[in-house]
Structure 1
Amino acid sequence: MTGERLDDIAGAMMSKGQGLLAADESTATIARRFDTIGLASTETSRRDYREMLFRASDAMKPCISGVILYEETLFQKAEDGTPLVDLIRAASAVPGIKVDLGAKPMAGFPGETLTEGLDGLPDRLARYYEAGARFAKWRGVIAISETLPSPGAVKANAQALARYSALCQAAGLVPIVEPEVLMDGTPGDHSIARSEEVTEATLRIVFEELASQRVALEGMILKPSMVIDGKNARKAKVDEVAERTVGVLKRTVPAAVPGIAFLSGGQSTEEATAHLSTMVSGFTLPWTLTFSYGRALQAEAIAAWKGKQENIAAGQRAFTHRARLCSLAALGGWRRELELAA
């Protein structure tokens, strides 16, 4: 990290060719992932898994500029007593923390949600800063169908994102603003054109609310979903996804924002990587484009590790391979044939 100024922290997180590791899975989410390898989710097994990732120096140092943590992990120590936050710092990455308390059904808006967690947030942010976090993340969930989202739900989520961002900056943390337009809405067969329409409208309102809350754009990072078809719709070609996504960003995101770190949002690992690389290589843009992937960075590592001590090196190799491919995508240099060159 280059300093304690918000724009310095954001700049370090948006270093060229590096991206964010989203290791902020809730206890329930990581339990489902561990189920795929027959591993019980305990405080120890969760620590061991994340320690394996953070000690993969060939992945972390060249490819990862920041790590989003779950609250449990922020305060955990490695098996040898080293705080996990210190492992992240030793890899020259910035530790961060997910601070929202989840998307809950929004009263009066069937099928839509509002993310909670503003109550008591200033006190939590102070505690997280003291523990070493220098950025935070809040996810707003935008349902999509032919009739959703409603303007009221989009505005309420945008207001929450903006208020959270202002509180973060007051506490010395860079806010990651994550308005996710769901790929798997109901019925999930929406077109890429519908995704483009909803994403553009959402981002317009988000930036209106950020302005109203006096959020310094130079000290924040946007984490949007890409413009893609619904889960049950046809798959648009990579070039079309890139063109539509970049078009939306150009029309809605001010140039003062230092970087955009995409979520993978239900895409396959290869799809998320290909889309990012095409955007970076094909367009001249005012912001750094990079990744903020969770499952898309970790799935292969979990499968190789299998929860066994003797497989730590294999898990780290799988993580390193995927991190390097994502890093290449953030430079616009990913190629499909590299997928098999593990």
Structure 2
Amino acid sequence: MSKYSEELRATAKAMVAKGKGILAMDESNGTCNKRFQKLGIPATEEYRQMYRTLILTTPNLADYVSGPILYDETIRQTTPEGVSLLAVIKEAGMIPGIKVDTGAKELAGHTDEKVTEGLDDLRDRLAEYYKMGARFAKWRAVITIGNNIPSKGCIEANAHSLARYAALCQECGLVPIVEPEVLIDGDHTLQKCWDVTDATLHEVFKQLHAQSVAYDQMILKPSMVIAGKDCPQQTSVEDVAEATISCLLKNVPATVAGIAFLSGGQSMQQSSAHLNEMNKRFGDQCPWPVTFSYARAIQQPALDHWSGHKANIAEAQSRLLKRAQCNSAASRGEYSAEMEKELAIA
């Protein structure tokens, strides 16, 4: 048992407090730069600093977001005025988190499959992040559905790494977000996605148990059970909600502190509608809070509008807040298409 158990339990609970979700703003500098380049924004540290400050200083964001997941550069940054971004987060009443994996790399002996790396020196990095003020961490594993994949070896390798990471987090005082993402890319059916998600979650919790990870001191960040983007038979909101919740109820222990979904390539409206349907129809059956941990599904309208111009900051923040409001409503089963119209930008 971790000496931080009580603190971890309280943090995990606060991360999935009613009506709140987690903001994933942990894209690497390379990914952030690519998004900037598409919009003609200079791909420099100065502009990344401005963008991250824009997000974190959005008025009232803490009403809908419990905390942001940061990248290593971000956790060390200040606002353009010199105020630490960590101080901004805490002052707003949010909990700082940090991405700690070093990315998905080719899995040896397994064509078209990846394993996430970053366990080397992780204990030392976690101790530093805790000292800086971070209170939760994130590690993402990717599972691809394709011709004869995922393999048993790929699922096992990723589940084992997730479990080792989660155990180290709890030892160091950080709540682990365990993120096994079954990718939406491909032409697989809803049923195929269900089968792969089922096998993945089963192995993840087997490995978490083997590494003595405390379920009430962790958050699961799964992908939704959904047909592949190229599947000719696309699934209804109702089918996605039903398939996803049935898979979670089968595999996720009731003591897990919360579920915070990734949006994983869905449109902003889709990810809100799916989350809403799950809470509306199955909220009473779920032993854990079911909420969001979205990135682009919250940030994209703000990034598009800002486009690197200081004069656009206030309106960009307004757009960010509106997406956070929509997803907060969805986490309570109170979202509707009408909300999109009411919050529509003229």
TM class by smaller structure: over 0.9
Equivalent residue number for residue 14 of structure 2: 12
* Paired residue total: 336
Equivalent-residue separation in structure 2 for 1:33 and 1:224 (angstroms)? 24
Equivalent residue number for residue 154 of structure 1: 155
Equivalent residue number for residue 221 of structure 2: 223
Equivalent-residue separation in structure 2 for 1:242 and 1:326 (angstroms)? 15
In the alignment, is the contact (CA less than 8 A) between 1:146 and 1:190 conserved in 2? Answer: no
SS at match of 1:224: coil
Equivalent residue number for residue 246 of structure 1: 245
AA at the equivalent of 1:47: Q
Equivalent residue number for residue 198 of structure 2: 200
What per-residue deviation string (whole Å, max 9, x for no partner) do you get for residues 249-299 of structure 1? 000000000100000000011100000000011112100000000011100
Equivalent residue number for residue 53 of structure 1: 55
AA at the equivalent of 1:7: R
Specify every segment of 5 or more residues in structure 2 that has no aligned partner in the other structure, as ranges.
Answer: none
Equivalent-residue separation in structure 1 for 2:69 and 2:9 (angstroms)? 18
**Post-superposition offset of 1:146:** 4.5
Equivalent-residue separation in structure 1 for 2:93 and 2:130 (angstroms)? 17
What per-residue deviation string (whole Å, max 9, x for no partner) do you get for residues 123-170 of structure 1? 101111111110000001111124110001100100000000000000
Equivalent-residue separation in structure 1 for 2:149 and 2:31 (angstroms)? 26
Equivalent residue number for residue 27 of structure 1: 29
Equivalent-residue separation in structure 2 for 1:55 and 1:103 (angstroms)? 31
How is 1:1-342 mapped onto 2 (pairs within 5 angstroms)?
Answer: 5-58=7-60, 60-184=61-185, 188-233=186-231, 234-283=233-282, 284=284, 285-342=286-343
Which segments of structure 1 move beyond 3 Å, counting only runs of 4 or more? Answer: none
In the alignment, is the contact (CA less than 8 A) between 1:7 and 1:219 conserved in 2? Answer: yes
In the alignment, is the contact (CA less than 8 A) between 1:100 and 1:117 conserved in 2? Answer: yes
Equivalent-residue separation in structure 2 for 1:235 and 1:97 (angstroms)? 34
| Normalised TM-score (structure 1) | 0.97
AA at the equivalent of 2:262: L
SS at match of 2:96: strand
AA at the equivalent of 2:164: R
**Post-superposition offset of 1:93:** 1.1
Over the aligned positions, Cα root-mean-square deviation in angstroms equals 1.0
**Post-superposition offset of 1:4:** 6.6
**Post-superposition offset of 1:37:** 1.8
Equivalent-residue separation in structure 2 for 1:150 and 1:95 (angstroms)? 35
What per-residue deviation string (whole Å, max 9, x for no partner) do you get for residues 290-321 of structure 1? 00000111000011111100000010010011
In the alignment, is the contact (CA less than 8 A) between 1:158 and 1:206 conserved in 2? Answer: yes
